């Protein structure tokens, strides 16, 4: 009769044991187009950049710094104040060194509400 040491049998059984099954792999993320990755901040009133209410100089310095950080050197060609659906915007047209023009929108609603001009006094009727 052949005697097999118990330790050898245990080592053999341990070596033959199956490894635990790995967790299921995560499904890959769906492909995203390059257009979807473009930052559109400030390109339209819907994506307007909010200017902080407490920004000094009526937010002008803050807006200029934001434009500079995004585009680099620029020249303001024109600006306008607009409103849409109860929000107030500053629309700035800038020219870059390559002579391309970009329109940037800033949401100035918080500053506008804090400043809100007094309504003009009524005009008296003419004397007769």
d(CA 111, CA 49): 13
Q: Is 85 left (phi over 0), alpha (psi -120 to 50) or beta?
A: left
pTM of the model: 0.62
Q: How far is CA 94 from the centre of its chain?
A: 20
Q: Which helix (H) or strand (E) holds 103?
A: strand 101-107
User: Which domains occur in the chain, in start order?
Assistant: 50-115 (3.30.360)
Per-residue pLDDT of the chain (128 residues), as tens digits, is 555 567 666 666 666 666 667 677 776 777 776 666 666 788 888 889 999 988 888 899 999 999 999 999 999 999 999 999 989 999 999 999 999 999 999 999 998 888 766 778 888 888 87
Q: Which of 84, 121, 82 is nearest to 103 (CA)?
A: 82
Q: Is 42 left (phi over 0), alpha (psi -120 to 50) or beta?
A: left
């Amino acid at each position: 009769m052949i005697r097999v040491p118990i330790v050898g049998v245990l080592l053999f059984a341990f070596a033959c044991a199956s490894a635990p099954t790995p967790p299921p792999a995560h499904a890959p993320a769906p492909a995203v187009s390059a257009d979807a990755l473009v930052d559109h901040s400030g390109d339209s009133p819907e994506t307007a950049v909010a200017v902080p209410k407490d920004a000094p100089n009526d937010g002008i310095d803050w807006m200029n710094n934001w434009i500079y950080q995004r585009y680099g050197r620029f020249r303001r060609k024109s600006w306008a104040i607009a409103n849409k659906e109860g929000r107030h915007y500053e629309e700035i047209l800038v020219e870059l060194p390559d002579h391309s023009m970009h329109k940037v929108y800033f949401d100035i609603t918080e500053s506008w509400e804090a400043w809100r001009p007094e309504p003009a006094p009524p005009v008296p009727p003419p004397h007769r």
